[in-house]
Amino acid sequence: MVRFGTWVTKDCGALISLKSPHLKRSLLQGGFARCYELLDVDTNQVYAGKIVSKSQLVKASQKEKMSQEIAIHRSLKHKNVVDFHHFFEDSDNVYIILELCRRRSLMEMHKRRKTLSEPEVRYFVKQIAEGCLYLHKRKVIHRDLKLGNLFLNDRMELKVGDFGLATLLDYDGERKRTLCGTPNYIAPEVLTKKGHSYEVDSWSLGCIIFTLLVGKPPFETSNITDTYNRIKRNEYHIPSRVDPAARSLINNLLHAEPSRRYSMEDVLKDKFLTRGFIPSKLPTSCLTMAPRFEPTNISIMIQSQHQNSFRKPLSELNHESKPALPPAGTALKTTEQQVADLNLGDQGHLPSNAPPDAYLSDLHKLLQSLVLAKPCKKNVILQDEAEDPAAVPIYWISKWVDYTDKYGIGYQLSDNSVGVLFNDLSRLVMLPDNLTVHYIERDGTEHYYTTENYASALIKKVTLLTYFNNYMNEHLLKATDKMSSRETDEISRMPYLKAWFRTRSAIVFHLTNGILQVNFFQDHTKLIICPLMEAVTYIDEKRDFRTYRLKSIEKFGCTPELFSRLQYALTMVERLQKGGLAAKSNMMPGTAHEDHRALQV
């Protein structure tokens, strides 16, 4: 712990200028600052602390920029703007105390998901537009709207943040001429220095919507010069799969002429928002898995919204839904016409946009590149710059029990949801509420139930799920659960176990969201590797939990212990690629993680 008045830092990588090796939990690092979790010991409240070294504020222009950021941000108060709480300084640093948004930003969500469904995009766009409309009414231009500056709190509410490039207009009609912003989001009038105003934020919003729906920014190229030339020529292409209403909104926001570009008021009135379904909230699970927006569910949700109620018991959904197999369930498969009628877009009803191998080939390329780089170094200590807490996995397996000699393998995820992969290759998942149950048939068809109302054909499987859950809770030690989620919702979709196997040295899990997890038996260390974030989380013998970008390991090196485990993970990926859907080998029936008592059913 390090104390600054009543402020104390929580666990994060050391920042040299603070002269302390005991800092806890780094959130992220930018070009000018590093962000930490800070604890106010008087109130026990945790905040985000943006810490700027004064060695970075040598020039008068840099000091003025810092002062302007503080002055602008502290003047703002809106539900869709990151709260400014306090600032202070010492001889080494400036400390800005902000609202903590634990769910990181839309950038991490985009990396894990690639594209979002239209209901999700509407949900976020409405909040961005409302936040920016508030800024513009206060004569503030953000000037750096991008996925990385749109933060998410525990309730998945969006907050506009980072006012480092923001500016305040002195009078109506003033045009700024500073060249600033992030290449993929810069408006043409900024590049040409013709003078710019609020319209640059509208342009950036158009780029954001395009990126979330298509998967990449509209003007992105392999080099900045080409990107800038495309922006100046207004050269972009919207794929045909994008809904016409979304296409129209993007075109109106990316208009080359600022005076003809949509304002934030126009966005909020646009038919993309007014005629399409907007969920009143999103589950934490959507950070890594697409929510389930079936037309039947959404019809009920829309009716409930008119009655000021979003929820309806799953038991009612089951009775009102079109019968599916098993009979009492609500199957995920729907017709294209039903989807179109409810303005879901082309992805809202799909279980995932992941490739069939759940990113195994991507993972193989990443690990192979890392191993060939030979980053292993003796006595190396990975620098704090190599850590990336923003890449911490959302879900991983914290407990497991192997009873495949009779039934299958049971496991608990880090958010306390529980799943079973049965020997017939069907799966059953119970969410943390201990009520909502998802059944996935061998062919991938999904059904939704509660523990109080489910198909009679599933009686034995639900009973087994309950026994697995009780057994793991009573007998097994849970792995560390930093950043785990305990919030659930009726539209949640959880990743589930796609494949697994055991060797004499470890057990290997592969989840449908791409996560590869290797638990080593001898020293209880664990690797959790995410191909989408291109990062590895290493839990060592002391249960310390650290996340590194694979590229950072290549750059800074790693210990022989970590390198040998990464080599082993590469071998396991190759084995999974050869093993099919549910690879199993060297099975040891009737055993459990850290416990060897048989499960009696």
Contacts by 218-222 with C-beta closer than 8 Å and gap 24+?
Answer: 218/250, 218/254, 219/184, 220/184
Q: What angle do CA 106, 163, 102 make, to 5 degrees?
A: 40
Residue for token pair 């999974």:
576
d(CA 127, CA 40): 29
Can you give 341-373 as a three-state secondary structure string? HCCCCCCCCCCCCCCCCCCHHHHHHHHHHHHHH
Task: Indicate if 144 belongs to the active site.
Answer: yes
d(CA 190, CA 176): 9
Q: 228: closest CA among 197, 189, 284? A: 189
d(CA 262, CA 517): 46
Q: What distances in angstroms separate CA 125 from CA 157, 246, 410, 495, one per listed residue?
A: 11, 11, 39, 26
Query: φ and ψ at 379, to 5 degrees?
Result: 60, 20
Catalytic residue among 144, 201, 388, 489: 144
Contacts of 465 (CB under 8 A, 6+ apart): 410, 418, 419, 420, 428, 430, 437
Contacts of 119 (CB under 8 A, 6+ apart): 276, 277, 278, 279, 291, 293, 298, 344, 345, 348
Contacts of 430 (CB under 8 A, 6+ apart): 417, 418, 419, 436, 437, 438, 451, 465, 469
Catalytic residue positions, numbered: 144
